[in-house]
Amino acid sequence: MGDEGIVTKQANPGKATILALGKAFPHQLVMQEYLVDGYFKDTNCDNPELKQKLARLCKTTTVKTRYVVMSEEILKKYPELAVEGIPTVKQRLEICNQAVTQMAIEASQVCIKNWGRTLSDITHIVYVSSSEARLPGGDLYLAKGLGLSPDTQRVMLYFVGCSGGVAGLRVAKDIAENNPRSRVLLVTSETTIIGFKPPSADRPYDLVGVALFGDGAGAVIIGSDPILEIERPLFELHTAVQEFLPDTEEKIDGRLTEEGISFKLARELPQIIEDNVEAFCDKLMSVVGFQSNDYNELFWAVHPGGPAILNRMEKRLDLLPEKLNASRRALMDYGNASSNTIVYVLEYMIQEGLNIRKDGRGDPEWGLILAFGPGITFEGILARNLCA
């Protein structure tokens, strides 16, 4: 999205700020109501019980639309992707490596256009993906594809899953605040082809992924001490915290195998997040003097891992229903797009803030940017909405 009509506040000196956002998607749009028939046709599966289960899951995820790289053309070229037990990691990576690079370039170009400055002003790249594996990595192919200077400093975050977008913000914040006048391009890019498989009663969780996950890319420009004549800061990234929960590393389990990535998520994952989110949020909020009963005075940009996680957070923190609107909208429109999704949530937050101010209502200045990923890892950023 562009930032037309946005009037921003001044950031604290030296603090990293989000200066622009951008996104990109593959061309294939999937409507949730047509997904079940299409998936079982593509995988040549005729199992009524599994089909009914996927239909139920598609309703409970609240997802309406998603974008995916997978297409009829890809399945015609690589029919083995829809066959059980065939080693296909080489083919998958051929597709994924090209697809994530292209989406990353497109999202970056949108973001840079929204930012309003030139490519030569980008000093660093932070590249995040759980959908590719190669040497050199996607960070180099992104820099090359954009035409960035060879001396642009690069960092990669691989296989950090759903917490990758907020982890990337944390790393970019550290870079921006410790390198005066730097401008960091954070890019996330993901595709589910790396884990696409035919339905199997032996892998019931695969159906959750089919019903929930989507593809795409996100991009963010981060820098401290914005030049207000040419830059419009959107959010100040005040304090960032990462924390893992001991002895939970098997609750989100992903393995790269000869047949692509296989995931297992524990049934108790939403409960574990609910049990630990309050203390994690309180730690961040206390930095600027908020108390645990101040949750509804904040804005909430939460990675929508699924409706169960959002519902449990809302219940545990006694949040007003509208507090998670941006997260629920992102989930509905794009599915869980792994590390990308927090970018889409932040865009929706800016849109909703504009509507709130048009109605003459107040928009919270402080809030939390949150995501949960393998580890179980909690990523959180105490942020100021500079558009509020």
Q: Which two tokens stand for residue 47?
A: 């199992």
Choose the catalytic residue: 58, 111, 162, 281.
162
Structural element, H or E, at residue 73: helix 72-77
Residue 45: helix, strand or coil by DSSP? coil
Residue whose token pair is 């930032």: 3
Q: Which two tokens stand for residue 275?
A: 């049990």
Task: Give the chain's length.
Answer: 388
Main-chain phi, psi angles of 288, to 5 degrees: -115, 20
Cβ neighbours around 4 below 10 Å, total: 8
Q: CA 276, 281, 284, 288: dihedral to nearest 10 degrees?
A: -150
> How far is the C-alpha of 83 from the C-alpha of 198, rounded, in Å?
6
| DSSP result, 171-223 | HHHHHHHHSTT--EEEEEEE-GGGG-----TT-THHHHHHHHB--EEEEEEEE
Q: Of 347, 341, 334, nearest to 111 (Cα)?
A: 347
> How far is the C-alpha of 235 from the C-alpha of 214, rounded, in Å?
26
Enter the DSSP assignment of 61: T
Structural element, H or E, at residue 288: none
- The Cα-based distances of 41 to 66, 81, 88, 340, 362 in angstroms read 18, 13, 20, 28, 50
Q: Of 334, 260, 331, nearest to 96 (Cα)?
A: 260
> How far is the C-alpha of 76 from the C-alpha of 74, rounded, in Å?
5
N-to-C CA span, the chain? 17
> How far is the C-alpha of 3 from the C-alpha of 76, rounded, in Å?
41
Q: For this structure, is 111 an active site residue?
A: no
- Prior bond to 376 cis, omega within 30? yes
> How far is the C-alpha of 224 from the C-alpha of 334, rounded, in Å?
30
- Active-site positions? 162
